Amino acid sequence: MAGASEVRRPRVIAERRRVADRIGLGDTATLEDGPALLQHLRERAPGQTFVLGTAIHPLTTVPLGLAIDAAIVAANGRTLSISHLRYCSFSMERIISTDPPRPLQATARVAELGAHHLECVVEVREDEHLICQARIGLCQVREGRAAPLSHFYVFDGESAPVG
């Protein structure tokens, strides 16, 4: 089993955006996460009869969390501070393999640009198998509220932001 020290941040393996410091429809990112986190969450808690991840349902939350991370990267959210989950809908299409565990890849594409949120569509795969499909809505929060985002957007035919 993997220990907590083996868990790493998901790795960005591909990123495509029209303008480096803006967000455009169709911007994409693909992240890969190794099996260490899932393995760790499936370990027994020291001295207990239950596994560490019992209350968080790791076979669902690990792929969904990777989908959210991929959406944040596709939206340039780490740079632009657009990283708050406003909403999501998802379907689990297949159970993750646990023996042996394999890496997961999530590919996100910016699909909608709203006044106070943006939406990405995401697929999470294990090898060629679709594990999870999701629609992830992200926003930037200022003073406890979703902030306007349109000044971050670039549209078809533009090579630089408007305004």
What span, in angstroms and rounded, lies between the C-alpha atoms of 109 and 70? 9
Q: Give the pLDDT score at 162.
A: 43
- 128: tokens are 């060629």
Domain residue ranges of the chain, discontinuous segments joined by +: 4-152
Fold classified for 4-152: Thiol Ester Dehydrase; Chain A (3.10.129)
Burial class (CB in 10 A: 0-12, 13-18, 19+), 20: exposed
Taking only the tens of pLDDT, the chain with its 163 residues reads 566 678 889 999 999 999 989 999 999 999 999 988 888 888 887 888 888 888 888 889 999 999 999 999 999 999 999 999 999 999 999 888 877 879 999 999 999 999 999 999 999 999 999 999 999 999 999 999 999 999 999 987 665 544 4
Pairing state of beta strands 28-33 and 84-92? unpaired
